[in-house]
Chains A and B, each alone.
Chain A
Amino acid sequence: MADISVVLPSVLQPLAGGQSILTTPADGAVTVGFLLDSLAGDYPVLARRLRDETGTLRRYVNIYVNGDEVRRLRGLETEVAAGQEVVIIQSVAGG
């Protein structure tokens, strides 16, 4: 079993008890959606920052798996293998 790491941007770290990386044990591939569901149990406010109540990823939240943004892959159905890293980054947006 190997961990999957979820790397948080600094602005969201206070919502995860100050942690910059959250790890979850995995003995096989899981989807990004499953990872976010898991995260919602421990950090519900953090989870709401990432997805709205329909489960849709917020427009300016980008999630990268192995360097690829999941919208270019299979969205929240994108699989993450044990040992891989998931990086959450907000878009460059606003004024």
Chain B
Amino acid sequence: MGCMAIEQSYVLAIGTKKGLWLATSQDRQTWSMSGPHFLMSEVPSIGIDTRNGRTRIMVGVRSEHWGPTVAHSDDLGATWTEPEQGAIKFPDGTDAAVERIWQIYPDADSRPGVVWAGAEPISVWKSTDGGEHFELNRGLWDHPHRSEWGAGYGGAAAHSIVVNPSGDDVHIAMSTGGVYRSLDGGSSWEPRNKGISAYFMPDPNPEFGQCVHKIAADAAVEGRLYAQNHHGVYRTDDNGENWESIAEGLPADFGFVMLTHPRRAGTAWVIPLKADGERIPPDGKLAVHRTDDAGKTWKRLDSGLPQGEYNAVLRDAASVDSAEPVGVYFGTRGGSVYASPDEGEHFTEVASHLPDVLCVRAAVVSAALVPGAPVPA
């Protein structure tokens, strides 16, 4: 009689206001934690890159005293490397300094060395060496609209980057500036916000200036993206040319999170908050909502979640993994982290009482990387 070999494990990286925690699991229900790494520095961005035959965790770290930097680990956090000259820094002549790295986004498998980053002040960056050095995207930095982009409450940043794995389309979102699209791999950018409301502006339907909180692409339908706006949940089926509301059926149209399924068409998750002025789960009852029909209908998912929760979930404090079924993960500003091994149907608590959770990212990794994991015979 043989024993079943567990060949894959799961890693969940949790970036908080005061450091990074790493959790590993074989079943996505029981987790082992390490940390804090980078104690007393906030970790608002994480990218887990499983391309190139390795698992590289990249983190945007920011110390209130010592500033921002990017570090990476190829051994699940046992050691960290920080490029001597800094991975992300504004070039001479820009008279700008990086305040915070908001997004680290590994590109598609077809572009194995490419990693994108979004930062504050509003800027997009691209690395071709696996996230060790990034170059400023001049097309966006020199954009004539830049002086008119404003700062959201959390700061003025490019916080979402979505890349078409089979083409040169890149969509970004910024608070506040809205969605911009490039069709040439990032050389030039145009606003694409038609249909997205900016109710807080004198003209509620401007060309740009929307406060889009998060965008995500449908992995299976070319040209389809979803957006969680500052009030408003939207979908586009024509690569951003037109957006239409898909908020009907949700308890609230405010929130920060937008996740999509890594393979299946029409599946997305949001975590609604009551309103701009009341940033708590509706009625204090924490729930994830999932659509499986591209936003026509939504299903409330709260099994295992506390029904008495008054903390918000921030835009990058949620993630999916690539397993089957897909795992869904999120953390709250109250320091609780939840994981679902079944696309949100059931959640278990991974951690509680951590500092404010700013970012979570999850990945399927080789069991050989995880200490204590059963090693295949």
List residues of chain A with CB under 8 Å of any chain B CB.
12, 44-45, 48-50, 52-54, 56, 58, 60-61, 90-91, 93-94
User: Across the interface, do A52 and B98 meet the contact criterion of CB distance under 8 Å?
Assistant: yes
List residues of chain B with CB under 8 Å of any chain A CB.
40, 63-67, 69, 82, 84-86, 89-90, 95-98
**CB-defined contacts of A60 to chain B, threshold 8 Å:** 64-65
Q: How far is the CA of A90 from the CA of B40 in the complex (A)?
A: 13
User: Across the interface, do B84 and A44 meet the contact criterion of CB distance under 8 Å?
Assistant: yes
Query: Which residue, A12, A53, A90, has most C-beta atoms of chain B within 10 A?
Result: A53
Q: How far is the CA of A90 from the CA of B67 in the complex (A)?
A: 12
Q: How far is the CA of A58 from the CA of B62 in the complex (A)?
A: 12
Shortest Cβ distance from A19 into chain B, in angstroms?
A: 17
Which of B64, B82, B85, B97 is in CB contact (< 8 Å) with A52?
Answer: B97
Shortest Cβ distance from A16 into chain B, in angstroms?
A: 13
Contacts A/B (CB < 8 Å), 25 sampled? A12-B66, A44-B84, A45-B82, A45-B84, A48-B67, A48-B69, A48-B86, A48-B89, A49-B63, A49-B65, A52-B67, A52-B97, A53-B86, A53-B96, A54-B97, A56-B97, A58-B65, A58-B66, A58-B67, A60-B64, A60-B65, A93-B64, A93-B65, A94-B40, A94-B65
Q: How far is the CA of A53 from the CA of B121 in the complex (A)?
A: 13
**CB-defined contacts of A94 to chain B, threshold 8 Å:** 40, 64-65
**CB-defined contacts of A45 to chain B, threshold 8 Å:** 69, 82, 84, 86
Query: Which residue, B64, B95, B98, has most C-beta atoms of chain A within 10 A?
Result: B64
Shortest Cβ distance from A37 into chain B, in angstroms?
A: 14
User: Across the interface, do A53 and B69 meet the contact criterion of CB distance under 8 Å?
Assistant: no
User: Across the interface, do B98 and A53 meet the contact criterion of CB distance under 8 Å?
Assistant: yes
**CB-defined contacts of A91 to chain B, threshold 8 Å:** 65
Residue in A closest to B18 when the chains form the complex, CB atoms: A94
Q: How far is the CA of A52 from the CA of B66 in the complex (A)?
A: 9
**CB-defined contacts of A61 to chain B, threshold 8 Å:** 65-66
Shortest Cβ distance from B347 into chain A, in angstroms?
A: 30
